[in-house]
Amino acid sequence: MNQLRIHRSVLPKALAMAALAAAAASWPVYAHHSFATYDRSQTLTLKGTVKSFQWTNPHCVVWIMVQPEGGGEQQEWSIETTSPGVLTRGGWTRNSIKPGDPVTVEYYPLRDGSHGGGLRSVTLTATGQKLSASFGDSEKPGLK
C-alpha cells in the first residue's frame, strides 16, 4: 500500500514535467513555420531555369538560375514553398518541376533583399502549365 501512495504522489510531478517537455519541444516547430522573413506585401516575378527541386519536409525548395538584366554571371535563387503533403493535395508531384525546365516564378521576396523568397506560383514555359503554392495565404495549391 505504501508503494501505491508514493507512486500517486510522483505521478502529478511526472505528468507536469512531460507536459512541459512537450511544450518546449514543439516551440521550434512553431517558430520554424513563421513567414516573417518574406515581404508578403509584394509579389515579384523571376524568369530562369530550374537548377534543382528539393522535395523534402518541412518545405520544398526550388533553385533557379537567373540571368540578371544587363548581363553578367547567372545568379542562383532559392525559392521556398510549402510541404510535399500540401503540394501533393494540390496536384503536384516530385517530378512537377525538373532541372533544366525554363520557368516563370511569382514569389514573395525575402525582406533582407537576398536571392530568395516564398513561392506563389511557377509557370512552366514549355507548356504554360501554372503550379500554384499555398504559402501562408488563403490560396490553395494546385494546377491551373
Q: Each residue of 95-135: pLDDT tens digit?
A: 999 999 999 999 999 999 999 999 999 999 999 999 998 65
pLDDT interval class at 3 (50, 70, 90): low
- In a 3-state reduction of DSSP, which class is residue 41? coil
Compute the C-alpha angle 86/90/93, nearest 5°: 85
CA distance readout (Å), 142 to 37, 95, 115, 139: 24, 14, 25, 9
Measured between alpha carbons, how far is 78 from 61 in angstroms, rounded to an integer? Answer: 7
- What are the E-state strand segments in 5-100? 44-54, 61-66, 75-80
pTM tops 0.75: no
